[in-house]
Structure 1
Amino acid sequence: MKNIKYLFAGIYFGIVLVKSQVISWFRIQEMFQLTSFHMYGVIGTAIFTGIISIQIIKRYNIKTFGGDPIVIAPKQFDKGQIFGGLIFGLGWAITGACPGPLFAQIGSGFTVVVITLLSAIAGTWLYGLLEKKLPH
């Protein structure tokens, strides 16, 4: 019961996704066809908000609600990120869904997206099996 706040945060996030139309297959197709700025505006706003938030956390040494320091590990470039990004983008373009809004799409009645969810789970599982054998 102490984690109920996360349920409410998830519900709120789902409502925001639905109302901003980022779960719309049509909006996603517009983005990949370069015919609308809508999704680029939403994604750009999220990136900008993230940059500002991380700078505030770092500059003012913000801590978690439990008092622990927030540690942001440095990122290291790997060529696998290019291949992963291409596969991710291709899947996003084909299915009209990325992992974030999958549950909001299903909750909105687009039950066919369950296939995309199961495929994402299978892909994650397969990556876990093959991770050590993949080039770095």
Structure 2
Amino acid sequence: MSGTHRSPLFMPIIYVGGLIFGFGLAISGMARPEVVLDFLQFEDFGLLFVMGGAAIVTGITFAVATGYLDRAPLTASEYTRRVKEFDRNVVVGGAIFGVGWGLSGICPGAAYASVGIGNYPILWAVVGMFIGAYAQGYWRALRSSTTDDVTETASS
């Protein structure tokens, strides 16, 4: 974000948003892995309504914000589309996320909310998420440095 200044309210609003998200997950019951596993086994469709409601609110917010504002209020950044290539990393990452979600019954955001409502055994899943994120970052950095070495050798 070179050249743009964030509002001093940026981080506090991010934290408040996270708290609201966590409370919403806890109130809706989505911070309980058994509810998510029941959804994945087609026994309870409450999660579908929670996700659908969130998608509608997000869609309306983005439509209104991008239609009436030329810049993001907290970052002063211009609204742009961030397009990610659909490549092998997206497929592999999605598969790992889906398998983890199916095995634990919880996704990362709900895992933190689940700890907040006293589900301390879920800390194993949180530790697994941190280890996975670290391993992915390490692998990506290693791969990037190897690619840079090959590029330097080829250009010499």
The 3 A distance-change label for structure 1 pair 119 and 62 is: same
SS at match of 2:109: coil
2-side partners of 1:8 and 1:61: how far apart? 22
Paired AA for residue 128 in structure 1: G
Aligned residue number for residue 115 of structure 2: 106
Q: CA RMSD in A?
A: 2.5
1-side partners of 2:109 and 2:48: how far apart? 16
1-side partners of 2:13 and 2:138: how far apart? 34
Paired AA for residue 71 in structure 1: Y
The answer for unaligned runs of 5 or more in structure 2 is 1-8, 145-156
Aligned residue number for residue 75 of structure 1: 83
State whether residues 37 and 102 of structure 2, in contact with CA within 8 Å, keep that contact through their aligned partners in structure 1. Answer: yes
Larger radius of gyration: 2
SS at match of 1:71: coil
Instruction: Report 1:6-85 matches (<5 A).
Output: 6-61=14-69, 63-66=71-74, 68-79=76-87, 80-85=89-94
Provide TM-score, normalisation by structure 2.
0.73
Paired AA for residue 50 in structure 2: V
The 3 A distance-change label for structure 1 pair 30 and 62 is: farther
More helix per residue: 2
Using the TM superposition, give the Cα deviation of residue 72 of structure 1 relative to its aligned residue in structure 2, in angstroms. Answer: 3.5
How many equivalent residue pairs?
Answer: 134
Residue 120 (1) aligns with residue 139 (2):
no
The answer for unaligned runs of 5 or more in structure 1 is none
Cα shift readout 1:73-109 (whole Å, capped 9, x = no counterpart): 3212322212211110110111111111122111111
State whether residues 26 and 113 of structure 2, in contact with CA within 8 Å, keep that contact through their aligned partners in structure 1. Answer: yes
Paired AA for residue 53 in structure 2: T
